[in-house]
Amino acid sequence: MVAPVPPAASIFDRNSFSFLSLKLHSLHALSPSDIQVLEDLPTTERTLDKDKNLITEGQMQWSAFLIKEGMAMRYRMMPDGGRQILSLLIPGDLCDIHGSLTQGVSHSISTITQLRIAAIPRSSIAALCEQHPNIQAALCLDALQEEAILRERIVSLGRRDARGRISHLLCELFWRYEAIGLTASSVFQIPLTQTELGDILGLTQVHVNRVLRVLREQRLIKVENRKLQICNVNGLQDIAEVSREYLGFRET
Amino acid sequence: MVAPVPPAASIFDRNSFSFLSLKLHSLHALSPSDIQVLEDLPTTERTLDKDKNLITEGQMQWSAFLIKEGMAMRYRMMPDGGRQILSLLIPGDLCDIHGSLTQGVSHSISTITQLRIAAIPRSSIAALCEQHPNIQAALCLDALQEEAILRERIVSLGRRDARGRISHLLCELFWRYEAIGLTASSVFQIPLTQTELGDILGLTQVHVNRVLRVLREQRLIKVENRKLQICNVNGLQDIAEVSREYLGFRET
DNA sequence: CGTAGGCTTGATTCTTGTCAACCGCGGTGG
DNA sequence: CCACCGCGGTTGACAAGAATCAAGCCTACG
Higher pLDDT, B187 or A98: B187
pLDDT, average across residues A115-134: 94
> Can you tell me which residue has its alpha carbon closest to the C1' of nucleotide D21?
B206
For residue A97, the model assigns a pLDDT of 85
The residue type of A234 is N
* Closest chain A residue to the Cα of B101, Cα to Cα: A144
Q: Is B35 exposed, middle or buried (0-12, 13-18, 19+ CB in 10 A)?
A: buried
Give the pLDDT band (50/70/90) at residue A251: confident
Q: Where are the alpha helices (DSSP H) in chain B?
A: 19-27, 32-39, 122-131, 133-159, 162-179, 194-201, 205-217, 233-240
Helices (H) and strands (E) in chain A — how many of each? 8, 10
Q: What is the dihedral of CA B82, B87, B89, B94, to 10 degrees?
A: -130
List residue ranges whose Cβ is under 7 angstroms from nucleic strand D: A 193-195, 205-206, 209-210, 212-213, 223; B 161-163, 198, 202-204, 206-207, 211
| pLDDT (tens digit per residue) in A67-79 | 999 999 999 999 9
List the single residue in B100, B107, B246 with the smallest CB-CB distance to A144.
B100
CA B197 – CA B200 distance, rounded (Å): 5
A99 touches chain B (CB under 8 A): no
User: Mean of the pLDDT values across residues A92-96?
Assistant: 94
Q: From the list B105, B144, B154, which residue is nearest A100 (CB)?
A: B144
Residue A93: count of CB within 10 angstroms of its CB: 24
Question: How confident is the model over A194-216, as a mean pLDDT?
Answer: 98
Q: Are B66 and B118 in contact (CB under 8 A)?
A: yes
**Mean pLDDT score, A69-97:** 96
Residues of chain B whose pLDDT is less than 70? 1-16, 56-58, 101-104, 252
pLDDT of residue B232: 97
Cβ within 8 Å, pair A140-B98: yes
pLDDT, tens digit (0-9, with 9 covering 90-100), for A14-39? 556 899 999 999 999 999 999 999 99
Pick B245's closest partner by Cβ from A104, A140, A155.
A104
> Mind telling me how many Å the CA of A29 is from chain B's nearest CA?
16
| Three-state SS letters, B133-162 | HHHHHHHHHHHHHHHHHHHHHHHHHHHCCH
Q: Reduced to 3 states, what is the DSSP secondary structure of residue A168?
A: helix
Angle between helices A162-179 and A133-159 (to 10 degrees): 170
Judging contacts by C-beta atoms under 8 Å, the chain A residues touching residue B103 are 141, 144, 248
Asked whether residue A191, judged by its CB, lies under 7 Å from any atom of the DNA or RNA strand C, the reply is no
Q: Average of pLDDT values for A159-169? A: 98
Q: What is the pLDDT of residue A223?
A: 95
DSSP state at residue B85: E
Mean pLDDT throughout A139-143?
94
- Cβ-proximal residues to B16 (8 Å cutoff; 6+ apart), any chain: none
Which nucleotide does the CA of A158 lie closest to, via C1'? D18
Tell me what pLDDT residue A96 has: 84
Among B residues 186-205, those touching chain A with beta carbons less than 8 Å apart: 199-202
- Give, as ranges, the nucleotides of chain D with any atom within 7 Å of a protein CB: 7-13, 17-22
Of A9-13, A154-158, B63-67, B221-225, the poorest mean pLDDT is in A9-13
Q: What is the separation, in whole angstroms, between the first and last Cα of chain B?
A: 13
Question: Which residue lies nearest D19, CA-to-C1' measured?
Answer: B204
Q: What is the pLDDT of residue A52?
A: 92
Model pLDDT for residues B61-107, shown as the tens digit of each residue = 788 999 999 999 999 999 999 999 999 999 999 998 887 766 667 89
Residue A252 pLDDT grade (very low, low, confident, very high; cuts 50, 70, 90): low
User: B15 — contact with chain A (CB < 8 Å)?
Assistant: no
Please say if the pLDDT value at position A104 is more than 90: no
Taking CB atoms and an 8 Å limit, are A82 and B159 in contact across chains? Answer: yes
Through-space separation of residue B166 CA and nucleotide C26 C1' in angstroms:
45
* Residue B6 pLDDT: 45
pLDDT over 90 at A225, yes or no: no
User: What rounded mean pLDDT belongs to chain A?
Assistant: 91
Instruction: Please choose, from the candidates A149, A161, A162, the residue with its C-alpha nearest in 3D space to the C-alpha of residue A87.
Output: A149
Residue A185, class by beta-carbon neighbours within 10 Å (0-12 exposed, 13-18 middle, 19+ buried)? exposed
> What percentage of residues in chain A have a pLDDT greater than 70?
90
Q: Which pLDDT score is estimated for A2?
A: 37
Q: In what order do the strands lie in the sheet with B115-121?
A: B44-48, B115-121, B63-69, B94-95
Instruction: For residue B43, give how far its alpha carbon lies from the nearest alpha carbon of chain A (Å).
Output: 26
pLDDT of residue B150: 97
Using the beta-carbon criterion (under 8 Å), do A158 and B157 form an inter-chain contact?
Answer: yes
Q: Which chain A residues have a beta carbon less than 8 Å from that of B141?
A: 103
| B window 208-237: Cβ near strand C (< 7 A) | 209-210, 212-213
CB contact under 8 A, B84 and A158: yes
